[in-house]
Amino acid sequence: MKSNPLLADFNTYLGTTPFSEIKPSQFKPAVEKQILLTKQEIDKITGNSLPPTFENTIEALAFSGLYLQQIQNILLNINSAETSDIWQNTTEEILPMLNDFYNEIRQNKALFERISKVYHQTDRKILNDEQQMLLDKTYKDFVRNGALLSNEDQAKLTKIDQQLTSLKLVFNKNVLHETNTFKLHITEFSDLEGLPQSVIEAARQLAQENNKDGWLFSLHAPSYIPFMKYIKNRQLRRQMSLAFGSRAFKTNAYNNEENVLQIARLRLKRARLLGYKTHAQYVLEERMAQTPEAVLSFLDSLYNSAYPKAQEDIKKLAVLAEKDGIEKLEKWDISYYMNILKKQELNLDEEKLQEYFSLETVLEGVFKIANKLYGLQFKENKQIDTYHPEVRSFEVWDDQGQFKAIFYADFFPRPGKRQGAWMTAYKGQWQKDGKDSRPHISIVTNFSRPSASKPSLLTFNEVTTLFHEFGHALHGMMAQTTYPGLSGTNVYWDFVELPSQIMENWAYEPEALELFAKHYITNENLPSEYLKSLKKSLQFMEGYATTRQLSFGYLDMGWHYLFNPDKVQNVSDYEQQQMAKTQLLPFHHDNNMSVAFSHIFPGGYAAGYYAYKWAEVLDADAFELFKEQGIFNREVAQKFKKLLQSGGTKHPMNLYKDFRGRPPKVDALLKRAGLKA
């Protein structure tokens, strides 16, 4: 019988994950063994007869359970990118075990007693910045997870955490099922009017895969987004839009309404148990914004600039729609008429624009930009094992010949992959005993597949998504810290989007575009008029886009700051109240955002969705320096590289000021978006 690969060091090139050898059944024994070994590491700390010090307590704890963390990463990442019933069942079995174990550690009184002594008695002058940050983070992590509670309250906290874990898994499973289940089947060619040939081919291919004649469209982004943008038949747009908006909101076994209410109630209960009034106050204590009031004030300040512009944007679309006899603009009209308006105002034909952005050349482009800025080189290695044949693997080296990271890229939608795009890590970075353990980083997207006649041609939105996730990946790959818990993207949640969002800026710059924006047949560079149009597009419909983003931020704060469990019984009514001030289009009672809002319910953006706009302030302000000095200026790039390498070793505001020489200003964002009065 084959041995369990999860129970030993990976005997692979550069220690990469041996995906093809790993089976779901191997996780439980591996996790059980690693829990046991991690307990022994903790026992060694608590059983130490010497007085607690930073080294024998804080540092020892920071390096405990590394293999357990790696196994957890592998399981959760596969369950997001290539899941099935057996992977979902395995995750549902393992995750409660892990959560119980981590709660047990954080509620270990002997361990916390040692941590507390180091925290209160250590002379901070003998610790460097990173050590001080680790000490503070470790102490707060224990306190914020119940270390100061009575045994009875700790038991209550553990039960709440168990319930939340289970609810989040069910929430995700329901959204994935509802996304995969719906298909719009079209049999009349005349109904396809407006769609580009590549989208028609992809729909034909999907129909054939499902043993159907005609064309099939799904709710996955590469199918749904172009359908809503191009299809002329308004009734079909309506059908597709309402199907998307009713995911996990129908009267069936996959309805998430009760899960939303339960998660919101439990988060509030958990916060109050720990001494906070709301979940938002609990979360924001460890964010740059610090308080819910500061978040709402920030959202309101942008709202005051954006909403009047949004109303103007909607009026422009309504004028176009009226020419087609549409008296009342609906949400299923927005993408369609926005595309028409874009062609008129910007002279930008998105279908033709796609021809300059084959996935292959865009990927080469981000690699070239990373090389010009940071000296990184990406070498594809097809021998590295992956969890799916479509996943690509790269070795990352620097200009000094030092190995920096493994980079995985998984681009196309599949039934087992959740919606959206994200960056993740299979293995983190840390340094110990002279060894620099390098990270294994992955980006996962749902881009347009190649068709029978064309390669994968990205929409410009997909181009910026690739740049965005690659920015996160750089944060992970360039990590250069001592402790795993402070490495890479282990930073304040409203700072984590800076490295990703700043990368998007290069996608609009002529000097960067000439590196990769080439016609997939002729290899000609992107025409200069398209370059100008792309620059102008930064302000196109930005009032509407900003208001829409703010509506999600208000909804998030509604569920996690303003929520009163005694008064909120209906998810739909409450959502409408929270989004009322940003409402630009008719509300539909058979549609709901909250029940499929994976970012804030199962995801990590609860009470933190504002971070996207917050980070836009940072990225616009930071990129101003690149524009002033040159977008490939190595001196500026070296400063930003230092910020990326530092991870969470310093307070993010200090890291930002080290880079910029001052705190961030909102002016650059308002100017870029055309929202400045």
Give the C-alpha distances (Å, rounded to integers) separating 577 from 81, 309, 555, 571.
35, 22, 9, 10
Chain center to CA of 668: 24
Dist. CA 437–CA 587, nearest whole Å: 51
Tokens linked to 461:
């939105």
Strands 440-444 and 403-410: parallel
- Residue 322: other Cβ atoms inside 10 A: 12
- The question of whether 351 is a catalytic residue gets the answer no
Q: Of 299, 285, 281, 340, which is closest to residue 316 (Cα–Cα)?
A: 340
Q: Please, is 533 exposed, middle or buried when counting C-beta atoms within 10 Å of its C-beta (0-12, 13-18, 19+)?
A: buried
3-class DSSP assignment, residue 488:
coil
Altogether, the residues listed in the chain come to a count of 677
Dist. CA 75–CA 68, nearest whole Å: 11
Dist. CA 677–CA 673, nearest whole Å: 11
3-class DSSP assignment, residue 650:
coil
Is the CB of residue 5 less than 8 Å from the CB of residue 18? yes
- Residue 214: other Cβ atoms inside 10 A: 15
Dist. CA 121–CA 581, nearest whole Å: 50
What values do phi and psi take at 650, rounded to 5?
A: -135, 160
Tokens linked to 143:
């306190």
Give residue for tokens 């009226």: 322
Q: Of 310, 230, 212, which is closest to residue 581 (Cα–Cα)?
A: 310
CA dihedral 177→611→557→572, nearest 10 degrees, is -30
**What burial letters (b/e) apply to 587-597, b meaning 16+ CB within 10 Å?**
eeeebbbbbbb
What is the sign of the dihedral through the CA atoms of 118, 119, 124 and 129? positive
DSSP result, 145-202? TTTTS-HHHHHHHHHHHHHHHHHHHHHHHHHHHHHHH-EEEE--GGGGTT--HHHHHH
Give the C-alpha distances (Å, rounded to integers) separating 389 from 189, 381, 410.
34, 13, 9
Choosing from 59, 355, 462, 469, the catalytic residue is: 469
Strands 377-380 and 183-186: unpaired
Is the CB of residue 292 less than 8 Å from the CB of residue 284? yes
Catalytic residues: 469
